[in-house]
């Protein structure tokens, strides 16, 4: 077969599958989606919790964020729950589900759209609302604007790429400053502002240029993962550069004053994308990676990466897997929650490592199905949310207590833990009042001071 | 302040119109890449939202075609990776080439093309879709993806080589099944 023959076959192939014009409904869908964005401007920022060193065990698990929720799936009434642990259906890899009905779609509750948030301790936390960084020192009752000077100065022009605080004083904000043209100095540049006084004053710094100098229009979010006030990583997952693809890792040992040269995780064709989690300055993983079982590990501070092993139970080898952020409790031991999306629903399992992320074995299975959020106080005490239901275990998932999370709206939550009583939940809510149209979305911030039994909405602005 | 808000609204209106005028072409390209009209619709909507969130990075509206194409290709690539992850460990062979609409591979004598295409990387499939589906020239692809023409030629060459090898592999697999 000559090149011409092959090219002709390809042209014929595409002519055969040419769909022609889309249905008019697609235009309506896009208009509705854009209108939803316009009414509630949203920066696509992953919630990155600020973690105090003493609370390094606390971890936020974001599961199923890639999935849209169905009409009516939100704002479902609070469910009554049994305190008895649920059991797995014999012969099934997925837990059984109770009979449920979806109420008619309801408009989203009022409140600010929170793009990102982090809880440092029971009193101190931060949130990003309408391009402004807000900080609280009283558990969310009052807030002050701690936006770095110069950054977000023109809210419509700057891109917030990431935020992290390791304690009430030390924090970092990654921003791509607004540009007037592709020749601007800030085109594709990441400014990393740092504070050592809780956001009262900020110092501007820069990330070095990526190995492949990227284009601003595809600049990814910056995942900031600080181990303490001095040591941390900045990770740009899926940094597209002139048609090639890379993911770039930078390391600082002086609180962000200086950064290492780029340690790209890819060769320029396909970088190792995903979400980072480091146990030490050398040992860490990228989860949700398009490699192996979805998790890769480094033991040399990101210079080289290898596929980690993940023990898959029968029947789940082919299921979609979505990892939460891994939690490390010391230099070797850690946990990660994995949501398996199968033909009959999804189930969340917890995996444990004892070798700094090289191998992961099954530790427990959540007794509920559907997208769940899980966070770890330590190796044995975990707390989770499944819709408006609270799950808690004190024995590494052998037994669970299930109660209602009162006043927490349904949706896709992520948990931010301060201690066993104080937590925040970012709840991503999205509803289409009619099928795939008249849609709106918003992320609300909720707080609990009683271990998750009751929740109140916060208004960080 | 009021003037700024008004200017912003006007700019946003223009951006919304800009995106809406590209839906048809985007849907066609997404279908070529994903080979699934429903998945293509989802990809177009997702790409529009990504573009909206990144709208301030587009300063030259004349570059909008390439800008939006790159975003759409990224969205499609992510979707293909999700599919690949789902396929891994199950019946990969039956997954490859599966689509919701008939492919040329379904035609008699051409049964190996669809599955063979699915063996290519998402980037290779996107490039072939731009070149032979959307019938863009090499310079046009280079402009849209913002890469040198020589790079486009080189990648097309490699993609065709890989496709040829994949077709051979499909034929061997088919003969082995008999």
CA nearest neighbour of A319 among B89, B43, B125, B138: B89
Say if strands A359-369 and A309-310 run parallel, antiparallel, or are unpaired: parallel
Of A16, A19, A34, the CB nearest to B103: A16
Task: Supply angle C-alpha A198, A202, A204, rounded to 5.
Answer: 145
- Least Cα separation, residue B123 to chain A (angstroms): 9
What DSSP string describes A42-69? -----------GGGTT------STTSPP
Range of A234-243, A323-332, B1-10 with top mean pLDDT: A323-332
Mean per-residue pLDDT, B80-95:
46
Question: In the predicted model, is pLDDT for residue A455 greater than 70?
Answer: yes
Of A22, A157, A321, the CB nearest to B23: A22
Q: Which of A19, A64, A288 to mutate to test the interface with B (most CBs of B within 10 A)?
A: A19
Of B35, B74, B88, the CB nearest to A318: B88
**Taking CB atoms and an 8 Å limit, are A242 and B31 in contact across chains?**
no
| More confident: B105 or A175 | A175
Radius of gyration of chain B (CA): 19
Which residues of chain A have a CB within 8 Å of the CB of B137? none
- Least Cα separation, residue B82 to chain A (angstroms): 7
| More confident: A65 or A270 | A270
CA A386 to chain centre: 16
Of B20, B88, B129, the CB nearest to A31: B20
pLDDT in tens, A392-415: 999 999 999 999 999 888 777 889
Residue pair A108/A74 in contact (Cβ under 8 Å)? The answer is yes
| More confident: B23 or A350 | A350
| More confident: B17 or A422 | A422
Which residues of chain B have a CB within 8 Å of the CB of A27? 20, 23
CA A65 to chain centre: 7
Cα–Cα separations (whole angstroms), residue B111 to B98, B116, B168: 12, 9, 12
pLDDT score for A179: 57
**Taking CB atoms and an 8 Å limit, are B110 and A219 in contact across chains?**
no
pLDDT in tens, A118-141: 999 999 999 988 778 999 999 999
| More confident: B163 or B109 | B163
Interhelix angle B37-53/B64-87, rounded to 10 degrees, is 130
pLDDT in tens, A158-186: 667 889 999 999 999 998 776 555 556 66
Report the range of poorest mean pLDDT among A109-113, A143-147, A193-197, A344-348: A344-348
pLDDT in tens, A324-338: 889 999 999 999 999
Going by pLDDT thresholds of 50, 70 and 90, the confidence category of residue A151 is low
Which residues of chain B have a CB within 8 Å of the CB of A113? none
Report the range of poorest mean pLDDT among A45-54, A235-244, A291-300, B24-33: A45-54
Percent of chain A with pLDDT over 70: 73
Q: What's the CA dihedral at B1, B5, B10, B16 to 10 degrees?
A: 150
Question: In the predicted model, is pLDDT for residue B45 greater than 60?
Answer: yes
**Taking CB atoms and an 8 Å limit, are B20 and A30 in contact across chains?**
yes
Mean per-residue pLDDT, B35-40:
87
- The mean predicted confidence, pLDDT, of chain A is 78
Instruction: Please state, in angstroms and rounded to a whole number, the distance separating the CA atoms of residues A361 and A344.
Output: 24
Q: How many CA atoms lie within 13 A of A161 on its CB side?
A: 29
Instruction: Please state, in angstroms and rounded to a whole number, the distance separating the CA atoms of residues A209 and A199.
Output: 26
Going by pLDDT thresholds of 50, 70 and 90, the confidence category of residue A5 is confident
Output the pTM of the full model: 0.63
Task: Please report the residues numbered 49 through 108 in chain B whose beta carbons come closer than 8 angstroms to any beta carbon of chain A.
Answer: 49-50, 52-54, 56-60, 67, 70-71, 74, 81-82, 84-91, 99, 101-105, 107
Instruction: Please state, in angstroms and rounded to a whole number, the distance separating the CA atoms of residues A183 and A163.
Output: 27
pLDDT score for B59: 54
Q: Which helix (H) or strand (E) holds A416?
A: strand A412-417
| More confident: A424 or A158 | A424
**Taking CB atoms and an 8 Å limit, are B103 and A312 in contact across chains?**
no
Report the range of poorest mean pLDDT among A73-82, A221-230, B72-81, B130-139: A73-82
Cα–Cα separations (whole angstroms), residue B139 to A10, A96, A268, A409: 19, 55, 21, 51
**Taking CB atoms and an 8 Å limit, are B81 and A290 in contact across chains?**
yes
What DSSP string describes B128-150? HIIIIIS---HHHHHHHHT--HH
Contact with chain A for residue B145, Cβ under 8 A = yes
| More confident: B129 or A149 | B129
Q: Which of B24, B28, B48, B56 to mutate to test the interface with A (most CBs of A within 10 A)?
A: B56
pLDDT score for B61: 64
Terminal-residue alpha carbon distance, chain B: 74
Q: Give me the helices (H) in A22-162, please.
A: 24-39
Instruction: Please state, in angstroms and rounded to a whole number, the distance separating the CA atoms of residues B151 and B166.
Output: 22
Cα–Cα separations (whole angstroms), residue A341 to A63, A134, A403: 10, 35, 24
Which residues of chain B have a CB within 8 Å of the CB of A29? 41, 45
pLDDT in tens, A11-21: 888 888 888 88
Instruction: Please state, in angstroms and rounded to a whole number, the distance separating the CA atoms of residues A28 and A439.
Output: 11
pLDDT score for A438: 63
Of B12, B24, B132, the CB nearest to A38: B12
Going by pLDDT thresholds of 50, 70 and 90, the confidence category of residue A339 is confident
- Sheet with A389-393: list strands edge to edge: A373-376, A382-386, A389-393, A401-404
**Taking CB atoms and an 8 Å limit, are B113 and A9 in contact across chains?**
yes
Report the range of poorest mean pLDDT among A102-106, A358-362, A450-454: A102-106
pLDDT score for B73: 86
Going by pLDDT thresholds of 50, 70 and 90, the confidence category of residue A307 is very high
Question: In the predicted model, is pLDDT for residue A87 greater than 50?
Answer: no
pLDDT score for A180: 53
Going by pLDDT thresholds of 50, 70 and 90, the confidence category of residue A314 is confident
């Amino acid at each position: 077969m000559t090149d011409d023959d092959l090219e002709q076959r390809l042209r014929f192939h595409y002519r055969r599958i040419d769909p022609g014009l889309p249905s008019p409904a697609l235009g309506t869908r896009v208009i509705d989606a854009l209108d939803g964005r316009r009414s509630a401007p949203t920066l696509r920022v992953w919630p990155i919790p600020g973690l105090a060193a003493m609370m390094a065990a606390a971890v936020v698990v974001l599961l199923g964020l890639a999935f849209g929720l169905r009409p009516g799936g939100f704002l479902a009434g609070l469910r009554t729950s049994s305190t008895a642990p649920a059991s797995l259906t014999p012969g099934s890899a997925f837990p059984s589900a109770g009979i449920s009905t979806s109420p008619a779609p309801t408009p989203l509750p009022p409140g600010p759209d929170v793009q990102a948030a982090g809880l440092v301790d029971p009193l101190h936390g931060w949130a990003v609302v309408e391009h402004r960084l807000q900080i609280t020192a009283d558990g969310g009752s009052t807030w002050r604007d701690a936006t770095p000077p110069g950054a977000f100065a023109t809210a419509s022009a700057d891109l917030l790429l990431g935020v992290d605080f390791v304690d009430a004083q030390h924090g970092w904000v990654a921003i791509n400053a607004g540009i007037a043209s592709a020749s601007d100095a800030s085109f594709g540049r990441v400014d990393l502002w740092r504070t050592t006084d809780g956001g009262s004053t900020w110092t501007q710094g820069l990330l070095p240029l990526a190995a492949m100098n990227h284009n601003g229009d595809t600049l990814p979010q910056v995942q900031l993962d600080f181990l303490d006030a001095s040591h941390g990583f900045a990770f740009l997952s899926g940094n597209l550069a002139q048609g090639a693809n890379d993911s770039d890792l930078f390391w600082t040992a002086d609180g962000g004053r200086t950064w290492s040269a780029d340690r790209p995780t890819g060769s320029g064709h396909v970088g190792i994308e995903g979400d980072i989690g480091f146990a030490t300055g050398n040992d860490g993983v990228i989860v949700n990676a398009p490699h192996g079982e979805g998790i890769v590990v480094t033991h040399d501070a990101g210079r080289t990466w290898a596929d980690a092993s993940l023990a898959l139970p029968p029947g789940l080898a082919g299921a979609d897997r979505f990892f939460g952020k891994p939690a490390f409790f010391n230099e070797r031991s850690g946990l990660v929650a994995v949501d398996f999306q199968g033909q009959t629903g999804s189930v969340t399992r917890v995996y444990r490592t004892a070798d700094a992320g090289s191998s992961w074995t099954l530790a427990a299975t959540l007794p509920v199905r559907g997208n769940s959020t899980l966070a770890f106080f330590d190796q044995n005490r975990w707390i989770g949310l499944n819709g408006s239901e609270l799950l808690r275990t004190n024995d590494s998932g052998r037994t669970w207590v299930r109660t209602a999370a009162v006043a927490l709206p349904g949706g896709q939550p992520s948990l931010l833990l301060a201690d066993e009583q104080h937590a925040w939940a970012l709840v991503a809510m999205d509803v289409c009042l009619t099928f795939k149209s008249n849609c709106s979305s918003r992320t609300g911030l909720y707080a609990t001071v009683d271990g998750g039994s009751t929740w109140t909405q916060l208004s960080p602005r | 302040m009021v003037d700024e808000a008004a200017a912003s609204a006007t700019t946003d209106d223009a951006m919304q119109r800009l995106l809406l005028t590209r839906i048809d072409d985007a849907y066609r390209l997404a279908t070529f890449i994903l080979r699934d009209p429903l998945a293509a619709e989802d990809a177009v909507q997702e790409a529009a939202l990504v573009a909206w969130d990144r709208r301030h990075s587009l300063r030259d509206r004349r570059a909008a075609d390439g800008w939006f194409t790159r975003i759409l290709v990224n969205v499609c690539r992510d979707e293909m990776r999700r599919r690949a992850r789902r396929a891994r460990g199950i019946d990969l062979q039956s997954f490859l080439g599966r689509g919701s609409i008939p492919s040329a591979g379904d035609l008699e004598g051409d049964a190996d093309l669809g599955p063979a295409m699915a063996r290519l990387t998402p980037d290779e499939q996107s490039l072939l879709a731009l070149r032979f589906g959307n019938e863009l020239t090499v310079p046009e692809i280079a402009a849209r993806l913002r890469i040198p023409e020589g790079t486009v030629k080189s990648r097309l060459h490699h993609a065709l080589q890989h496709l040829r090898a994949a077709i051979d592999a499909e034929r061997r697999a088919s003969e082995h099944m008999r």
